[in-house]
Amino acid sequence: MSDNPPAVDFPQGIIKLEHPLQNFFDALRGKDSVRIVAMGSSSTAGREDVVPYPYRLEMYLRQNYGPHLVDIRIEVANRGRGGEEAPQELDRFKGDIFDEKPSLVLWQVGTNAVFRKKEFDFERVIDAIAEGVRRLSEHPIDVVLIDPQYVTAMLRDDNPDLAEEMVSGIRKIANDAEVNLFKRWALMRHWHVQNGVSFDQLLDPTDRPDMLHQSDWSTQQVSKALCRSITDATLAASWLPAEWKS
């Protein structure tokens, strides 16, 4: 990857979360730690030398809110496991999510159902995502679904059609349940098409021959965009002044 990747932007039309993060906002008004759980597969768990997004997001959120909420400590618990999909992750909801009592859950999902399509039943994965959102919605938790990454592995052979179907399926689930969706697929495609970011820059150079996992740089950019999405959606629920935005 080039030492000087091109600048990227975070279009509001892509990164905006449609629903205020009311539970997260309420937690920020408390006096204890604010708990976020990041559920997902390898994009969440991390791999090789790439710092995964939950740790970056925790740092960015602390930097953003720290000067204003001195009694609050924001924690992002990384509950990612490489290779898993929604059906396996549902089995971990109690211990890895509900027992943690988070105010916000970020669920990165859908990639392995495309990349490892011979191992996963696509419709079963879609049904499991919908069931997971239903279970989460029964608790005082804000939900943000995170759809797949736009990378070479998702654009090979017949993967593009399946990837678009997954992205559309996740969007429909989010719309039907009135929960938030962070559009990672659209954001990374925007960077590639509009900002001229090559796949060499988006991809982890150690990830050969899969070409599936994001580079440290692109993970950093996604983390920044997600932080902005969260802080904006928190403002939509809050009395917090605009200058608290990242």
Residue 187 lies in a domain: yes
Residue 5 lies in a domain: no
Strand order in the sheet with 74-80: 74-80, 34-40, 104-108, 142-146, 180-182
pLDDT of residue 71: 73
Note whether 17 and 232 are within 8 A (CB): yes
- Between CA 214 and CA 96 the distance in angstroms is 24
Q: How confident is the model at residue 4 (pLDDT cuts 50, 70, 90)?
A: confident
- Between CA 126 and CA 109 the distance in angstroms is 10
Say whether pTM exceeds 0.85.
yes
Mean of pLDDT values over 49-60: 95
Q: How confident is the model at residue 237 (pLDDT cuts 50, 70, 90)?
A: confident
- Between CA 195 and CA 201 the distance in angstroms is 12
Residue 2 lies in a domain: no
Q: How confident is the model at residue 244 (pLDDT cuts 50, 70, 90)?
A: low
Between helix 159-177 and helix 184-193 the angle, nearest 10°, is: 130
Residue 3 lies in a domain: no
State which H helix or E strand residue 223 sits in. helix 216-235
Residue 33 lies in a domain: yes
pLDDT of residue 123: 97
Q: What is the pLDDT of residues 7-48, one digit of tens each?
A: 999 999 999 999 999 999 999 888 778 999 999 999 999 987
Bridge partner residues of 142 (DSSP): 104
pLDDT of residue 8: 96
Residue 40 carries which side chain, given as an amino acid letter? Answer: G
> In angstroms, how far is CA 10 from the centroid of its own chain?
15
Query: In this predicted structure, which of 34-38, 70-74, 166-170, 195-199 has the lowest mean pLDDT?
Result: 70-74
Domain hosting residue 152, numbered range:
12-241
Q: How confident is the model at residue 232 (pLDDT cuts 50, 70, 90)?
A: very high
**What's the farthest any 2 CA atoms get from each other in the chain?**
52
pLDDT of residue 32: 76
CATH code at position 78: 3.40.50.1110
Considering the chain, what is the average pLDDT of its residues?
Answer: 93
pLDDT of residue 122: 96
The count of structural domains within the chain is: 1
Q: Would you say the C-alpha torsion 94, 99, 105, 111 has a positive or negative sign?
A: negative
Q: Does pLDDT of 245 surpass 60?
A: no
Q: What is the pLDDT of residues 64-90, one digit of tens each?
A: 987 777 678 899 999 999 999 999 999
**What is the DSSP-derived secondary structure letter of residue 180?**
E
Q: Does pLDDT of 239 surpass 70?
A: no
Residue 6 lies in a domain: no
55 closest CA partner among 72, 73, 77, 84: 77
**What is the DSSP-derived secondary structure letter of residue 102?**
-
- Between CA 68 and CA 147 the distance in angstroms is 31
Distance between first and last Cα of the chain:
27
Residue 88 lies in a domain: yes
Backbone dihedral angles phi then psi of residue 50, each to the nearest 5 degrees = -85, 125
Q: What is the pLDDT of residues 126-164, one digit of tens each?
A: 999 999 999 999 999 999 999 999 999 999 988 999 999
Residue 135 lies in a domain: yes
- Between CA 117 and CA 113 the distance in angstroms is 5
Q: How confident is the model at residue 208 (pLDDT cuts 50, 70, 90)?
A: confident
Q: Does pLDDT of 3 surpass 90?
A: no
